[in-house]
Amino acid sequence: WSPQSALGQLQANLKAAEAESEAQMEQFLSQELPLDTFLESFCQSRTQSHIHRTQMEKLQELLQK
């Protein structure tokens, strides 16, 4: 384990969460997902995305010091 590998993992997790959000949005817009299901899953995906982004930014700040 190293800070650089953790940063890479966070970046990969962020990219995956954002891709999942986009896929959910496309499914909703093509009427494949009902509104309730979309809102629940989309909010979870966006929350994960924000968590990963915040963790990544904090780790980058620590590595710059």
Report pLDDT for 31: 95
d(CA 3, CA 64): 11
Predicted confidence (pLDDT) per residue in 36-51, tens digit: 999 999 999 999 999 9
Residue 34 CA from chain centroid, whole number: 22
- 8, 40 in Cβ contact below 8 A? no
d(CA 49, CA 29): 20
Report the candidate in 54, 28, 53 with the shortest Cα–Cα distance to residue 40: 28
pTM of the entire predicted model: 0.78
Helix (H, G, I), strand (E, B) or coil at 34: coil
pLDDT at 1 over 90: no
Give percent of the chain with pLDDT exceeding 90. Answer: 86
